[in-house]
Amino acid sequence: MTTPQPPALQYSALQLAWLQELGIEKPWLPSEQPPASKEIAVVIKQVRTPAATDTVPPAAVMQPAARLPSANKNRSPAPAPVSSTSEQTKVDTQPLAAAAMDMHALAETISACQACGLCRERQQAVIGEGVMQPAIMVIGQAPDDLEDRAGKPFVDRSGLMLDNMLMAIKSSRTQNVYVSNIVKCRPPGNRNPKPAELASCKPYLLRQIELVRPFSILAVGRAAQSLLETDQPLDQLRQKTHTFEVAGQKIPLIVTSHPVNLLNHPSEKAAVWQDLQLVKTVSGL
Ligand code: URA
């Protein structure tokens, strides 16, 4: 029996021109034998409190990448701590205290958090990785089992697809992107997080955004609806520049498909390409 193949991709002349201009006319989909994964330079995984004798800055507070969007140069200093905005749900005081934390304290607190039931089945919290003050902060909904094991967001095929999407706009986690999720612990069975779980984790994400100081946010898949607090279908949220406000900072937010969706529906790539062009523009890349 032959396995049904997905339909061949169709590009318009304009899309082909874009792809060729950027030298990425080859497909984004990883081959069956993906290249050996790159070492990620800046990973917030196992967090420790820096000793007074440390001479090298720990990963979580590493200096921004050399190449930042030009508009970043004129940005104001880091804003004041954010106050929690989780209205609907009873919120544990642990996340609420996040507003005053630096990145190390935040990562340690998240790693030990028991504010909701997700802590019971996690192997580890997945905090984020990438560079500080990035052009783009990619935000997904929640880690799945692979991320839970790896302690890193977007690994394996979805991670490779995300990296290829970023490469299409000459960006990467090691250069000018930070990647994270709204919920830091894997929901059992990779289900969608419940509203209470999203609300519990929200103060962590707000503080994380405030500390990371991205120039733009790329919300992938359901994370877009969660961040924008809307039930509108994803397609209606795309190709628009939304605003996500954290501690008085208005950050442009662009919506696109989840990388996993592209693995399953490669014909979506043309629309994602357009989303990437928009995020590229608003980021000043
Ligand atoms: N899906 C997400 O939304 N986040 C991850 O980290 C991995 C898969």
Residue where the block lists tokens 């503080």: 207
The residue whose CA is least distant from atom 3 of ligand 1 is 140
Q: How much distance in Å is there from the Cα of 92 to the middle of ligand 1? A: 24
Q: Please work out whether the CB of residue 158 comes within 6 Å of at least one atom of ligand 1.
A: yes
Q: Quick one: pLDDT band at residue 260, thresholds 50, 70, 90? A: very high
Distance from C-alpha of 271 to C-alpha of 178, rounded to nearest angstrom: 22
pLDDT of residue 99: 87
Is the shortest distance between the CB of 180 and ligand 1 below 6 Å? no
Is 127 touching ligand 1 by the criterion CB < 6 Å?
A: no
Q: Mind spelling out the 3-state secondary structure of 252-270?
A: EEEEECCHHHHHHCHHHHH
DSSP 25: -
Q: Which pairing describes strands 217-220 and 249-256: parallel, antiparallel, or unpaired? A: parallel
pLDDT at 44: 38
The reply to whether ligand 1 has any atom less than 6 angstroms from the CB of 154 is: yes
Q: Is the pLDDT of residue 75 over 60?
A: no
Q: Where are the alpha helices (DSSP H) in 151-194?
A: 156-167
Q: Per-residue confidence at 5, pLDDT binned at 50, 70, 90?
A: low
Ligand 1: residue of 124, 144, 145, 180 to mutate (most ligand atoms within 8 A of CB) is 144
Label residue 13 by pLDDT band (50, 70, 90). Answer: low
CA-CA distance, 135 to 221, in Å (whole number)? 20
The predicted-structure confidence for 109-163, as pLDDT tens digits, reads as follows 999 999 999 999 999 999 999 999 999 999 999 999 999 999 999 999 999 999 9
100 confidence band (pLDDT: 50, 70, 90): confident
Both tokens of residue 133?
């003050």
Ligand 1 pocket test: which of 146, 158, 162, 260 has the largest number of ligand atoms within 8 Å of its C-beta? 158
Q: Which CATH number fits domain 91-283: 1.20.58.100, 3.40.1390.30, 3.40.470.10, 3.40.50.2000?
A: 3.40.470.10
Alpha-carbon span 225 to 112, nearest angstrom: 27
142 Cα to the center of ligand 1, angstroms: 5
pLDDT at residue 96 in the model: 75
And the tokens for 19? 């792809």
Domain boundaries, given as residue ranges, for the chain:
91-283
Per-residue confidence (pLDDT) for residue 32, from 0 to 100: 37
Are the beta carbons of 140 and 223 closer than 8 angstroms? yes
Question: Measured in angstroms, how far is the CA atom of residue 107 from the centroid of ligand 1?
Answer: 18
CA of 190 to the centre of ligand 1 (A): 9
Cα(96) to ligand 1 centroid in Å equals 24
Question: Who's near 137: CB < 8 A, 6+ residues apart?
Answer: 130, 177, 178, 179, 180, 209, 212, 214, 216, 217, 218
pLDDT computed for residue 67 by the predictor: 31
DSSP for residue 36: P
- Tell me the two tokens of residue 11: 């590009």
CA–CA separation, 40 vs 130, rounded Å? Answer: 8
Q: What is the pLDDT of residues 202-244, one digit of tens each?
A: 999 999 999 999 999 999 999 999 999 999 999 999 999 999 9
Q: Are 62 and 192 in contact (CB under 8 A)?
A: no
Q: Would the CB of 215 count as within 6 Å of ligand 1?
A: no
Distance in Å, CA 141 to ligand 1 centroid:
6
Q: How far is CA 245 from CA 3, 97, 118, in A?
A: 47, 19, 27
pLDDT at residue 15 in the model: 55
